[in-house]
Structure 1
């Protein structure tokens, strides 16, 4: 495995961790800054809002300027946002810092697109499998590390550690990765127009809608999981809650081979199978048992990774000349879905408890499966 693949995976893991590190910390953040329980979902959603803006405004730059320069600059600005969060004395400063973290964390999509463009066509799925595994490791591993760090240095210490890692990684990127050989192919305005045109393509829209519901379901689980676990009957600490990320990591790592399946021409079928597995995972999550919850988390994260890799493989293969734009546009759906899931699940939990959050997540999963069936029927 090339060193450059591992560097790209590390960029994805550390950058995306800034958006999701808050999830096991929600009770601590709410108590410290006076954020009501029903509104805690916005602590996670704020990062997704910034991410959405960055996908439209910043990611297309990858088809215009040297992506190595973008990686270094965006990692540095993500570190600045993390320091703002760490020093926040009021909720609005916290939300502002999280928006900045999310805005520049789109370095993840620049990294994915750059890695795809450096790969030979027959190895693109493998590369995407490795690099996007970094994304999922960052999303889920952030919970484990954040819970452990918060137990020692408090929730603010989590963001100080994150800032240090981001700066160190920026230096590694500059030293290890090659300059982008595809600089200046199109003007920025032309790239933006081209991005808008993708929303008229059936493949792009169907895969985008699947991603929307996929990550809304994902967000419905992880965006509010800390609330029931921190209360009766379990009363788990942030460090213990963070350990659920290990279960998620097991599922995500288990799906690493999905890139090879996509290389073998099975991306469409794998997507459908993954969505069925996602729906089934919510049955396990809905059982009133920590053991069943662990099983459900493993299965859910396996399904999410499989579908996500398959989606990106199909889209980058269809648009090899503009991977940054197509990945950025696709991830708009991801960001909207993640924000919806995170914001809605805490409101649902506040109103109806864990049953309501489960019904919400399962409903999103079913919607994703319906879109896949519809897209298959239209294509026939």
Structure 2
């Protein structure tokens, strides 16, 4: 069924599947850190920084590549990035040493930024009245890719070795590239006809990147939502990086397949995306933001007891993923209303902050676990979640103060 602006349910599903397949490539290594560390003779805690490097590569792709989605044909840009992504995955499969493997991971992260071109493309095609739901559907695919990557990677590595999952991802990425080449609409640049895919000069490109800083200065709402996003994804990365460490040691002692299977818990959190989109379409994005930030904080209270209790670990992880995904949907639905002609650059500013937060979380997980074990990981995450809630409370107070000032001025 097609809506007024051209986004069919089938196309929304395709965007969701494509985002899931692409982003999964960034996260296949996360549940395999202990196995990969052993293969390359590295301490397992050191590989928390491998996740950080990959996420930094992803963030760099947002800053350097995603803004082009506002000035070139998005379809062509997505397909070129997919081709480069496939080549980077091939480098990982054939990596003879840790340095090559790490370089491949960074390149995979960098070229996986095509997901963040597909999301604003879907938002542009969607009817404004259902944009929150459309973003929710696509984001469900994205988060399912993040979480299912852990399950699939664990099982494949258990039966066929850790390199096999990256070989499979090469085939899956080729398949999705072919489907997108056939199905994506053409002529999808979001700018005036004076700019084309062949007219991006170094000067234009430099101005395009400089416009990111202008957007951040001009749009305080974008800054606020970027802060929420960075803190939320830092919480997510702290837990999901730390889980690999805690689950591979006593009292759990899980193997790769069992650690990967734990990702099923997180899949349930992805299901929060669609209801969150509906709630936001009804105009409740602000209240939803506070509720999801509080959910994050509560999750760490449960997770703190999860070092020796599997039920608490499961419950805390479930709440964490609901909070992170719901907050992410709220953020994106709000920022997509800021400027329709700059959606790719707005996405760049937001997601660069988002994944820099994730990189901080991954690094914090390794350092906290090395220093204080699982409780240290939960303390770091709890501090991040508490900060997100305090920022939201502060924003409410500031908003009420502005309203009061406007009211006083009107009476005078």
TM-score scaled by length of structure 1: 0.97
Specify the alignment match of 1:112 in structure 2. 119
Q: CA deviation at 1:183?
A: 5.0
Separation in structure 2 between the aligned mates of residue 193 and residue 336 of structure 1, nearest angstrom: 19
Report 1:1-20 matches (<5 A). Answer: 2-20=9-27
Specify the alignment match of 1:207 in structure 2. 225
1:295 to 315, 318, 322: 315
SS of corresponding position for 1:180: coil
Separation in structure 2 between the aligned mates of residue 277 and residue 379 of structure 1, nearest angstrom: 22
Specify the alignment match of 1:192 in structure 2. 209
CA contact (8 A) 1:60 1:324 kept: yes
Separation in structure 2 between the aligned mates of residue 296 and residue 24 of structure 1, nearest angstrom: 18
Separation in structure 1 between the aligned mates of residue 40 and residue 320 of structure 2, nearest angstrom: 32
Q: CA deviation at 1:192?
A: 2.1
Separation in structure 2 between the aligned mates of residue 220 and residue 85 of structure 1, nearest angstrom: 24
Separation in structure 2 between the aligned mates of residue 223 and residue 86 of structure 1, nearest angstrom: 22
Specify the alignment match of 1:263 in structure 2. 281
2:184 to 177, 180, 188: 177
Separation in structure 1 between the aligned mates of residue 190 and residue 139 of structure 2, nearest angstrom: 23
Specify the alignment match of 2:387 in structure 1. 367
Confirm or deny that 1:310 pairs with 2:327.
no
2:30 to 19, 23, 28: 23
Q: CA deviation at 1:181?
A: 3.7
Q: CA deviation at 1:99?
A: 0.7
Q: CA deviation at 1:297?
A: 1.1
* Residue deviations 1:4-33 (CA, integer Å, cap 9, x gap): 111111121111111111111000010001
Q: CA deviation at 1:195?
A: 1.6
1:275 to 293, 298, 309: 293
2:266 to 242, 248, 253: 248
TM-score scaled by length of structure 2: 0.90
Runs of 5+ in structure 1 lacking a partner?
A: none
CA contact (8 A) 1:255 1:303 kept: no
* Residue deviations 1:280-318 (CA, integer Å, cap 9, x gap): 011111112111111111111011111000000100011
1:234 to 231, 239, 252: 252
Separation in structure 2 between the aligned mates of residue 248 and residue 322 of structure 1, nearest angstrom: 32
Q: CA deviation at 1:45?
A: 1.0
Specify the alignment match of 2:403 in structure 1. none
Separation in structure 1 between the aligned mates of residue 114 and residue 67 of structure 2, nearest angstrom: 11
CA contact (8 A) 2:293 2:388 kept: yes
Q: CA deviation at 1:184?
A: 4.7
Q: CA deviation at 1:142?
A: 0.4
CA contact (8 A) 1:23 1:224 kept: no
Q: CA deviation at 1:189?
A: 3.9
* Residue deviations 1:68-88 (CA, integer Å, cap 9, x gap): 111111122111111111221
Separation in structure 1 between the aligned mates of residue 226 and residue 137 of structure 2, nearest angstrom: 21
2:347 to 318, 327, 341: 327
C-alpha spacing 1:183/1:128, structure 2 compared with 1 (3 Å): closer
Separation in structure 2 between the aligned mates of residue 342 and residue 46 of structure 1, nearest angstrom: 9
Separation in structure 2 between the aligned mates of residue 281 and residue 255 of structure 1, nearest angstrom: 18
More displaced 10-residue stretch of structure 1: 228-237 or 247-256: 247-256
Runs of 5+ in structure 2 lacking a partner?
A: 1-7, 196-203, 401-412
Specify the alignment match of 2:167 in structure 1. 160
* Residue deviations 1:178-232 (CA, integer Å, cap 9, x gap): 1134355355444323222122121111111111111111000001211111111
- Give the CA RMSD over aligned residues: 1.3
